[in-house]
Amino acid sequence: MSGTATSTVKTIFERLRLELVEQYQPGDLLPNERLLAERFGVSRNTIREVVIFLEAYGLVEKTQRGPRVRAPDAEAMFRIVSQMFDRSPQAYNDVLHFRRLIEIGTLPEVIDHITDDEIRDLERCALLMEQAPTIREAAEADFRFHAMMVVASRNVILAKLYEAMAQPLMYYLEIGKSNRGLESTTSNHHRSIIDALKARSYRLLRDACEDHFRFSAKVLDQETAHTRPSV
């Protein structure tokens, strides 16, 4: 796509994005391709490109009758943003900081709301992490463990944001999982978190999580040292 065509698609996308918020309700259908093409003075192919972007941002969905306006979906928007992260040491440190802000910040609500069933789910997840045959599967189980804790806070927006950041978070988690010698320490940290939840102790839970994040920061620093530019 040429620069001019890209600019046209972006301009129409921004116009329609604002109109969807101001003039449409979830479930409303957009005008058909022909009408939109005539309105903006462009080809129907250009309108198709615009609709693809609207779908990617979770603003509309395809139906047999044409694009239909979706209810606002914060997770879809967050997911687009998460794809912009690179795999530099600084990005990984930013991801770790993101995790700490979300997870430590929600601990009071986690203590207040988590159920016995959810704690048992965390135990099963910790076991899956310990028994995972591959680095990727261990990272996925680790992510799921922490995502479940955020869900237990009952903060829907933070839970959606955390879920939408799954890919960069798992890239980061895979770094630590690549060192198999750290498995027992990681396992002990998760067990301490579970024990604190069972005791319904905010102090023990915060201490366990802070220990876990200090350890994670140290591992991340060691594992990415060779990729940092020399001074």
Burial (CB < 10 A; 0-12, 13-18, 19+), residue 225, is exposed
Residue 57 has pLDDT above 70, yes or no: yes
| Cβ count near 210 (within 10 Å) | 13
Q: Quick one: pLDDT at residue 104?
A: 95
What domains lie within the chain, and their CATH numbers?
A: 3-72 (1.10.10.10), 78-227 (1.20.120.530)
Q: Is the pLDDT of residue 43 over 80?
A: yes
Q: Can you give the pTM of this predicted structure?
A: 0.66
Residue 181: the pLDDT is 78
Residue 181 contacts residue 104 (beta carbons within 8 Å):
no
pLDDT band at 94 (very low <50, low <70, confident <90, very high): confident
> What pLDDT, on the 0 to 100 scale, is given for residue 230?
45
Give CA–CA dist 201/205, Å, rounded. Answer: 6
**Higher-scoring residue by pLDDT: 152, 73:** 152
Of residues 140 and 58, more confidently modeled: 140
